[in-house]
Amino acid sequence: METNSPHYKLLGLFLATVLSTGSAIGQDDAGSNDPVFELSPFEVETSGDKGYYASNAISGSRISVPIQDMPLTIEVVTSEFIEDTGATDLRDSLKYSAGILLQSQNDAYGSTSNVGQINNPEGATGNKSDSSFKIRGFVLENTLRNGFRRQHATDTINIDRIEVVRGPSALLYGVGNFGGVVNYVTKTPLPEFQQNFSIGVGSDSFQRASIDSTGPLFLENLGYRLSMAIEDRESWTDINTEDHFFIAPVLQWRIFDRIKLTLDYEYGKADENGVSFRSVRTPSLEGVNIFQSDRLETFGFLEFSEDKNANQVLDPGEDLNDNGQIDFTRDPRTFRWSGPDTFIDTESQNANFSVEVKILDNLYYNGGLNYSRVNFVTRDVFGGISRGSGADAAQVILDDMQANGRGFLARQVIDGKNSDTVVPVYDGVFQYNWVGSDEQIDWLQHRHELNFSDRIFEGNKWLESEHNILLGYSFESQDYENTAYRSNGATDDFMYKDPTDESYIRFDTIWDGSPSLPYEPLRIDGNTAENVGMYGVYSGRFFDDRLFLVAGIREDTTQSKDGFGEVIGSRQGRQFFEDSEVKKQTSQFGISVEVIEGFTLFALQSEGVEPNFGGERDGNGIALDSTVADATEYGFKFNLFDGRIAGTISKFNIQREGLPFRYWWAPAPVHGQFRPSDDIIYRLDGVNPDIANRDPDTGEIINPYQRATEAEWLAAKAATGSGPKGAVYTQSNDDGTFTYLNASTPEGAAWLDAIFRELQDAFLLPLDDPNKDLDPWLGFLYEGLDDEEVNTASEDRSDQGYYQSISDESDGWEAQIIMSPLENLQIILNYSHVERQVIDPGAFVQTPFVEGNEDRWATWFFPNANWGLGGAPVELVYPGGDGPYLPNTDTSSWTGVGWGKGESLDDTPEDVVSWWAHYTFLEDSLFSGLEIGFGGQWESEREYASAFTSAGQKKQNETGTTIKAVTDARLTLNAMAKYSWVRDSYDAFLQLNVDNFLDDQDQYGYIWAPGISWKINFGVTF
């Protein structure tokens, strides 16, 4: 990082200004009497805060309420804790919060669009917004900034505190966020002048400078605050760099003692380079198309070796270090094959105007208008190992590889340990193109709330009570537009590279130095989503304030409108999508009882909702209902010895229903291509026994299913008088000459029944021999869907854009404890236990067959280990069939057996323990001014690879065993040392933070631990 950059000049100028003026102004006003302003219920009460301990929070009820009283699990991360742990962004501030997962690899039924795509092993948490987490096993798509939704991360220089409310919170915050809400509260002006400057350096070329200046501005009731940070860093991985700039000015004007106006603005810019994949998936099975990325989800990654020979045999002269082994020239932990030309450039801004008015002594108004914009510009590499591309450019590379014996090792992950298989591959080439996007999101939000509170029957021991009513209205409008880019060629949109070539992939040239394909805009998409919410919340205190009740109801009306898509240069032009509107009511009820002083029991029922913004529809074309969550939670809180020991222990269960998910092979009769009254006609491109491979010696058909049913096939061919054209016939069209089977004839049906019977026996799981390859592939029965002669129910399946709905749950308990056994010792202990499971894998709609003409051979009935029956007996999957091996052709009878019920399919660890301890040496001790901190996190194993893909099929593997790969348990330890001193009117400190000081560099699933890192920060306050 260059220290003469414009950002540093600006920072230096501002520092000089506050140094020269701040202390002078402060001296002039040193003797003034600051006015005292009464806090509104919408301002969090912090007078009881001490160190890491926070007494009150606003995120659970929208008004300031003691955490001890709220029947919610609320965690507050204070600014002091953020500073001590050395966090510089929102994500890093949450690393000690048990139950919050900052980096995932496996999200149940989830698919991601991270940079690197399938070759990026990180899951939903790798979103470019940097604001996605998992809480209690559910993905949190966005965070809140002072209660307003935000889809971009922020610098900690502007964060005063972070409040985490666990569980669904639709009552106050509307849609989404089933696992919980992360709301960060920004810093506001202080009544006295204060300037803080800090500068830091660290490992991986980390450099950072920040300023936080605050105080009155001209008038004693007009205050300002200006926060600014600049940060440059490299990474422990190869060629990854980032620099960002952040500034946040705030003005706050208290008009008289009844009105407070706040105007704040944020601007941030971040440029990150070298962001895409480090390596690529290596399929061990043939025929895995790079566009079928879900099938790659359990393959390992390409490793680059000096030898280049998959069989790992040393050729003459290759023993470079004379040690008898092949030496890796690239470190698999750090090497980034995608090269330095990928990037994410982010520019964000947020403007907020809020008003608080004291209308009457017990009636307050709170209103706010928030506008935010974020722009993401990305460039990435899309690609994968292709086996049998057929392109001329690919064949040139393959010929050279095969002539020189070069290949690579392909890993199939089974359990992540001893069961994994590794095979040599000599016929694979890397097929890729450049992709990118220019994405802009504009978000307009405003909220208006009235809060009335009153205490009645004061002095009456039994009847005195306090009542609070909050009425609210919120509006959100999100405008989204994205332009997608891609490499385009005249005859081939792809480029190719030798997978044993360790050189970086470059944007301008390909492997031989010739120019890359042109990079051009491909498609524009956009839409507007609006949400209107109206809510009312009642809370009351009874029986000497020992009983606290809270209850509320909310109605949300959500619209998805003005959606469009346009392929640039296409004759169709811009296509517009149908608008949709959904209304949904949610509720919340909670109770807490202080049974003895400092000890409170509580219980809560709450709901969450995620409207169907995308307008996804089921197989009948009916728009899916909103995704909803129902949660119950109970536990106890304690606050003893004036906050010296405080905490919450709770048990929770969250059930989510209606999550849209697509089984590509499931029925979707709304598509309307199948003609139920006509004969069922299959085109036998890949399964025609007449063109099947035969043994040259015996003449027998090699494929076992076709060989076993050869008699039925010959009978079908001989039935020339069955049906208008016979059971089997040949016919030509513009695409060629094809063989067809009429399955409505008895002979045609008999052959398919025989084939399906053989397949069912072969594909029942577990397979006959768990150590052999999967049973041979019959071939794809469902060809020619655009052929007018073909008429099968499989023409109407869900991969045409239709969905099913699944249900899942998280069940567990948590403990959050903060202790100050000594005035100079603070300890935080957190524990989380979460069990994730699928409750219901979904339901199929009914296909309208004509009686006697049912297509019982459609994709959803196909006996296959990966889709269709999925290896389960047809009698269990479609019970009630007309006989052995025959399904109930009422497709709504699908039971979902074998499709994940009771399984986790998620990498949320069952157990996580985190802790942080901070000790300050006493002033009269030898080490006066010194503070030390020690913390860490232990997590149990994670299920980083599961048995199902994100596109609704079982993951194919070569062993016939179920895929369930888990990581090892993981321990990370961190430490801090800080020395503070006072000189004249300046407070100064020097702080060292060391993360992962055990230098863990092991691999956990597909992701490597980063190793040790450190930061030194110097700061001064005056």
Nearest Cα residue to 485 out of 518, 525, 519, 526: 519
Does residue 771 surpass a pLDDT of 50? no
- pLDDT confidence of 228, banded at 50, 70, 90? very high
Percent of the chain scoring above 70 in pLDDT: 90
Q: In this structure, which amino acid lies at residue 594?
A: E
- β-bridge pairing 100-101 and 825-840: unpaired
Give the domain-ending residue among 166, 186, 206.
186
Does residue 572 surpass a pLDDT of 50? yes
User: Is 215 a domain residue?
Assistant: no
Q: Taking residues 2-31, what's their average pLDDT? A: 41
Does residue 318 surpass a pLDDT of 80? no
User: Is 597 a domain residue?
Assistant: no
Does residue 29 surpass a pLDDT of 70? no
Residue 620's pLDDT is 92
Burial 102-125 (b: 16+ CB within 10 A, else e): ebbbbbbbbbbebbbbbbbbbbbb
Q: Tokens for 198?
A: 């800090």
Q: Taking residues 525-530, what's their average pLDDT? A: 90
- pLDDT confidence of 895, banded at 50, 70, 90? very high
- pLDDT confidence of 726, banded at 50, 70, 90? very high
Q: Taking residues 6-19, what's their average pLDDT? A: 42
DSSP classification of residue 67: T
Specify which of 526-530, 780-784, 843-847 reaches the highest per-range mean pLDDT: 843-847
Q: Which of 61-70, 567-576, 783-792, 982-991 has the lowest mean pLDDT?
A: 61-70
Q: Taking residues 880-906, what's their average pLDDT? A: 92
Give the domain-ending residue among 153, 186, 219.
186
Q: Taking residues 38-65, what's their average pLDDT? A: 74
Q: Are 389 and 406 in contact (CB under 8 A)?
A: no
Domain carrying residue 115:
56-186
**Average pLDDT of the residues of the chain:** 87
- β-bridge pairing 143-145 and 180-186: parallel
User: Is 399 a domain residue?
Assistant: no
Question: What region does 342 belong to: left with phi over 0, alpha with psi -120 to 50, or beta?
Answer: beta
Residue 368's pLDDT is 95
CA 351 to chain centre: 26
Residue 809's pLDDT is 95
User: Is 761 a domain residue?
Assistant: yes
Q: What is the number of structural domains in the chain?
A: 2
Does residue 158 surpass a pLDDT of 90? yes
Q: Are 270 and 378 in contact (CB under 8 A)?
A: no
Q: Could you tell me the CATH number of the domain that includes residue 110?
A: 2.170.130.10
User: Is 716 a domain residue?
Assistant: yes
Q: Are 295 and 949 in contact (CB under 8 A)?
A: yes
Give the domain-ending residue among 142, 166, 186.
186
For 764, list phi and psi in degrees, rounded to 5.
-65, 130
Q: Tokens for 838?
A: 């699928």
For 449, list phi and psi in degrees, rounded to 5.
-140, 140
Residue 386's pLDDT is 87
User: Is 918 a domain residue?
Assistant: no
User: Is 723 a domain residue?
Assistant: yes
Sheet holding 148-150, edge to edge: 74-78, 159-166, 180-186, 143-145, 148-150
Does residue 323 surpass a pLDDT of 60? no
DSSP classification of residue 62: S
> Tell me: the pLDDT tens digits for 666-694?
999 998 999 999 999 999 988 999 988 88
> Tell me: the pLDDT tens digits for 34-43?
444 566 777 7
> Tell me: the pLDDT tens digits for 495-506?
999 988 888 999
Pick the more confident residue, 17 or 169: 169
Does residue 303 surpass a pLDDT of 50? yes
User: Is 727 a domain residue?
Assistant: yes
Percent of the chain scoring above 90 in pLDDT: 58
Does residue 1004 surpass a pLDDT of 80? yes
| Residue 951: count of CB within 10 angstroms of its CB | 18
Single pTM value for the model: 0.89
Q: Following DSSP, what letter does each residue of 573-586 receive, concatenated?
A: --EEPPPEEEEEEE
